[in-house]
Amino acid sequence: MHKKSLVVFFFLLSFKLVAQPIGSWTYIDEYQTWDANPRIIPSTDPAGICWNPDDGKFYIVDSEINEDTGNNSPWDLFGSNVFTTNGSGSILYGSYHTTISTSSREPTGIVYNPQDQSYYITNDDTHALYRYTFVMGVFTRQDTWILDNDGPLPNMDDPEGITLNPFTQHFYIVDGNHVSGGTKVIAFEIGVSNNLIYIPEESFDLPAEMTDGEGIAYRFSSGANGNLFVVSSSNEAIYEFDLGGSGTIINKYDMSGLNSIAIQGLTFGPRSTNSSLESLYIADAELDNNDTNNWEDGRIYEIKIGLNDTSLPIELSSFAAEVVDNAVNLNWVTASELNNVGFELHRATEEFGDYQLVSSYRYNNDLVGQINSNTSHEYSFIDTEIEPNTTYWYKLADVDINGLKTFQSPVSIFVPEFSVQPVAFKLYQNYPNPFNPSTTIKFDLNGDTYVNLEIFNSAGQLVKTLINDELFNSGSHEKVWNGDNNFGEHMPAGFYIARITANSNTQTIRMIMLK
């Protein structure tokens, strides 16, 4: 890792505007990692940080948590070096390790890709790029690409930060000590054969004064190009580049007012104090493996870049849940919406549990957004697929015009014993929906009756008879459809209609099967 000379002037920062010759920024907050009291995130050298819009969490990679292996070392050789937390660093959701040996103990950058739900991590010990996913809750390495060989990419001797344009699926790595001299941003994409494809027209040399390019973050601006922010620890600055202009400098932000020691990782994410606004989070590695000074072993800064606030897709005024007639009624109000095509609702039985999709704007018109709006709008959803004596947690995600999801903070509700309700004839929405390969169809009958339950394709053709004139008792019933037809053949992806008939009553629902 690249550390600047230790000249520290420690002072207390208040919320203030720091004017710079070109770019301006506003201090928001900061928190310690290793030396926090109480210690929540046991990171001695936070080198990279990224925000995951799918789960609403921040992921920090530590480049030297397992470097010191002495008998009295506070660091564990096989300890974690990936930590997930919230914007204020007050919660540790989980900790993971990228290796079980010393050969790749220095992860330097991390970015999350919503398209394949993977984490891409650079390592300047091994000069490599790794792809990780969660497999049954285990942080698992899936792919390895060596970056300092004679492959399709320019040789990288010092791969540091990594970021992604999620709209084009183009990655950008900062090479802090490029083999041809100087520092460079190298752009690439991953091909269909899992090979790295160099994009020279989006790669560029960094200014000569940036002798040690470190972290990098992508920020959407207009079109699909956006801007890149690159941090230089040696001259305490963040540079903003126009990606469409092949590396043209837009702004330089002087970070000396942070009192930092070794600023490295960068990521944009929701503001810790207002999730509808955007902040830039900066990982400061501070001193290497220093456990004697309480302010020199890891810190995360939060700032606002620029004079004006940048809003995330929606500004949420309220999000609430209540139990009404054996169902959970969810209601939310937006104060404004920006490029918002709609909402998704996700549900779990634990706050940090496995959230499952309950409903989506893709098949529920009530959840379709306003695209752009400066006025208040109300939304609601009734969840009937619940059990008594259970606490449920609901997360609301807004989806922008590019498909990027932003999760809001969850709300919880306890469902007590169900009250006795008169049974009415009803066909419920299938669950899950969309589905693959099977889904459950629930229906209520208000008396003993013969039932027919049939599945039709989008052309109105009968493909499957699930129930054929069978006698059912009054009450609630369920039937599973495995996505096949009456001949046992699996049906293609698409829209399907489920129709139930009981006596003279008929109801239908629309279902979506995915591949």
Dihedral sign from CA coordinates of 233, 239, 242, 247:
negative
- Amino acid at the residue 499: R
Specify if 3 maps to a domain. Answer: no
Last residue within a domain, chosen from 415, 449, 482: 415
Instruction: Please give the pLDDT value at position 180.
Output: 58
Distances, alpha carbon 369 to alpha carbons 192, 340, 379, 405, in Å? 34, 6, 9, 13
- pLDDT for the residue numbered 45: 87
CATH of the domain at 467: 2.60.40.4070
User: What pLDDT was estimated at residue 400?
Assistant: 82
Q: Are residues 382 and 484 in the same domain?
A: no
Same domain, 388 and 468: no
Query: For residue 99, what pLDDT is reported?
Result: 62
Q: Which of 390, 415, 440 is the C-terminal boundary of a domain?
A: 415
**227 and 156 together in one domain:** yes
What length does the chain have?
515
Any residues with CB less than 8 A from the CB of 303 and at least 6 apart, and which? 25, 26, 27, 28, 258, 279, 280, 282
Q: What CATH number has the domain bearing residue 222?
A: 2.120.10.30
Residue 8 within any structural domain of the chain: no
The verdict on residue 6 lying in a domain is no
Phi, psi of 104 (to 5 degrees): -140, 55
β-sheet bridge partners, residue 84: 59, 94
In the sheet that holds 92-96, the strands lie side by side as 46-52, 57-62, 82-85, 92-96
What residues are paired with 280 via a beta bridge? 268, 303
**Cα(422)–Cα(446) distance, rounded to whole angstroms?**
8
9 belongs to a structural domain: no
CA distance 293 to 296: 6
Q: Is residue 176 a part of any domain in this protein?
A: yes
Are 436 and 403 within one domain? no
Does one domain contain both 341 and 452?
no
Structural domain count of the chain: 3
Q: What is the CATH number of the domain that holds 399?
A: 2.60.40.10
Q: Alpha-carbon distance 131 to 113, whole Å? A: 10
Pair of tokens at residue 5: 């000379």
Same domain, 241 and 279: yes
Max CA pair span of the chain: 84
Q: Are 292 and 262 part of one and the same domain? A: yes
Task: Sort 70 into a burial class: Cβ within 10 Å, 0-12 / 13-18 / 19+.
Answer: exposed
48 falls within a domain: yes
Q: What does residue 153 show for φ and ψ, rounded to 5 degrees?
A: -95, 150
Q: Strand 327-348 to strand 57-62: parallel, antiparallel, or no bridges (unpaired)?
A: unpaired
**388 lies in the same domain as 466:** no
Residues paired with residue 212 on neighbouring β-strands, in sequence order = none
The dihedral built from the CA positions of residue 135, 137, 140 and 142, taken in this order, carries a sign that is positive
Are 85 and 234 contained in the same domain? yes
Q: Are residues 232 and 208 in the same domain?
A: yes
Look up residue 177 and give its DSSP letter: T
Q: Do residues 197 and 170 touch, judged by C-beta distance below 8 A? A: no
Claim to verify: residue 96 and residue 205 sit in the same structural domain: yes
In a domain? residue 237? yes
Residue 73 domain-assigned (yes or no): yes
Buried b / exposed e over 308-346, threshold 16 CB at 10 Å, is eebebbbbbeebebebeeebbebebebebbbbbbbbbbb
Alpha carbon distance 229, 140 (integer Å): 29
Cβ partners under 8 Å of residue 488, min gap 6:
none
Encoded tokens for 86: 């919230």
Residue type, 91: I
**Residue 483, token pair as written in the block:** 């996505």
CA distances from 102 to 75, 80, 130, 133, 142 (A): 13, 13, 15, 21, 19
Could you give the C-alpha distances from 334 to 123, 279, 346, 370, 482, in angstroms and in order?
Answer: 41, 20, 18, 10, 38
- For residue 27, the cross-strand partners are 303
Per-residue pLDDT of the chain (515 residues; tens, 9 = 90+): 443 333 333 233 333 333 334 688 999 999 988 878 888 888 888 999 999 988 889 999 988 765 444 444 444 444 688 999 999 999 999 888 886 555 556 799 999 998 888 999 999 888 899 999 988 888 889 999 999 877 788 888 889 999 999 878 999 999 986 555 568 999 999 998 999 999 999 999 888 888 788 999 998 765 457 899 999 888 889 999 988 766 788 899 998 888 778 889 999 998 888 877 889 999 998 766 555 555 567 899 999 988 777 666 677 888 999 998 889 999 999 888 888 889 999 999 988 788 888 998 888 888 999 888 878 899 999 998 899 999 999 999 888 876 777 888 889 999 998 876 667 888 999 988 888 889 999 999 988 899 999 999 988 899 999 999 999 988 889 999 999 999 999 999 888 999 999 988 899 998 988 87
Give the long-range contacts of residues 466-469, CB within 8 A, separation 24 or more: 466/441, 467/500
Give pLDDT, residue 498: 94
pLDDT score for 278: 87
CB hemisphere CA count around 358 (13 angstroms): 25
Do 320 and 272 share a structural domain?
A: no
Spell out the residues 6+ positions from residue 143 whose beta carbon is closer than 8 angstroms to its own. Answer: 130, 131, 194
- Domain residues for the domain of 108 are 17-305
The answer to whether residues 43 and 63 touch, using CB atoms and an 8 Å cutoff, is no
Give the bridge partners for 121, in sequence order.
110, 130
Q: Collapsing DSSP states into helix, strand and coil, what is residue 183?
A: coil
DSSP secondary structure letters along 103-149:
GG--EEEEEEETTTTEEEEEETTTTEEEEEEEETTEEEEEEEEESSS
pTM: 0.65
Q: Which of 360, 392, 415 is the last residue of a domain?
A: 415
Q: Answer left, alpha or beta for residue 460, where phi above 0 means left and psi between -120 and 50 means alpha.
A: left
β-pairing, 439-445 with 128-135?
Answer: unpaired
Residue 292: what pLDDT? 54
